[in-house]
Chains A and B, each alone.
Chain A
């Protein structure tokens, strides 16, 4: 199975500052169709996950442009600019290139 390793696992951030989360894959996530099915999701406390970014860098509908995804191959980054209180939660990277799809361990973003 593809292993996704996130860092850091805990990320205290000051309101208004930026935060970055890294996700490294044990193998390239480039699919045979040329797409890289690396997604980012957030799970707020007590809620279901919500996808924020699909295929590395494409924001889902309604996701603020403060959220951006980047990377290629095996190394990916989620950046949250101008962090707001509503951004707290656990962030997961997820790959859907191979079955079984897999998630990273999760990164807890909290406000300092």
Chain B
């Protein structure tokens, strides 16, 4: 079975600083990888996804992620944090029959002014 590990349940950055949220996955087949964002008491919104092709994927709100097969990683970055980026972020991998998503435990991003 596939699994997803997000290193750091809480990450704190200053406004304007680099955001780096880490995601590692285990998969025996080429993975389809996703990053979602969740604001308090709301559903999840897709930030970006990797399926095939270019390994550097650009998403909404200035976020991007790079698929590194050799490191089994799909880390999320943003060059300059904004206060509105404060939320919880989930990395997920699509798994087999039924196109189910397996999620990491999530990382809460705090942005300090």
A binds B: no
